[in-house]
Amino acid sequence: MSTVLRPALSLIVLMTLITGVAYPLVVTGIAQVAFPDQANGSLLRDASGNVRGSELISQNFTGDGWFHSRPSAGDFATVSSSASNLGPSNPALAARVTEAVARERVAGQGAVPLALLTTSGSGLDPHLPPAAVAYQVVRVAAARNLSVETLQRLVDENTYRPLIGPPVVNVLTLNQTLNELPSAQL
């Protein structure tokens, strides 16, 4: 019995040390050296060095002085991140979209872009298409007493054009840049 049990237990302990301790430590060490920003959560810091969020997770911005993110099915909570799974015939989805239209509508700007009305698959997508951000420029400019041209330039500077896929704007980085403007007002 001990001729079978001893090697089995030794192998379990050895494999636990290799796959549960050594491998994670090696991978973490490599990530910290090769990709330190990403390995630490892609955190965004303000001018004082305080963490304001992560480039990877959307935040809820309210008020006319901020660019608004996509709605979140999980109320921007990372623990319950998920899609709403509401079908197009579900009355709850229609009610939520109608509420979002009323909240996001900007007078004289036409139809509200779909990206401001629908949630993403995770409910935490930090990106918006440039058209959805441009739709909000007039509202934010009026609230902050800034010119539309200044804000549009800021949006253009914060538009990321990936190698594959459409251009996107990270709303958190855009709002952080907006907040750092010398004449930032709410």
| Residue reference for tokens 């509420």 | 99
Q: Is residue 184 part of a domain?
A: no
The pLDDT value recorded for residue 79 is: 65
Please check the confidence at residue 20 and state whether its pLDDT lies above 90: yes
Please check the confidence at residue 176 and state whether its pLDDT lies above 80: yes
pTM above 0.85, yes or no: no
Tokens of 40: 């630490």
Compute how many other C-beta atoms are within 10 angstroms of the C-beta atom of residue 129. 17
The CA angle 97-164-115, to the nearest 5 degrees, is 10
Task: Tell me: do 120 and 96 sit in the same domain.
Answer: yes
Identify which has the larger pLDDT, 128 or 108.
128
Residue 10: give the domain boundaries: 2-37
Compute the half-sphere exposure of residue 24: CA atoms within 13 Å on the CB side of its CA: 6
The pLDDT value recorded for residue 183 is: 58
Residue % of the chain over a pLDDT of 70: 90
Task: Tell me: do 71 and 11 sit in the same domain.
Answer: no
The pLDDT value recorded for residue 55 is: 79
What's the rounded mean pLDDT across residues 2-7?
85
Task: Tell me: do 52 and 114 sit in the same domain.
Answer: yes
Task: Tell me: do 13 and 52 sit in the same domain.
Answer: no
Provide the domain count of the chain: 2
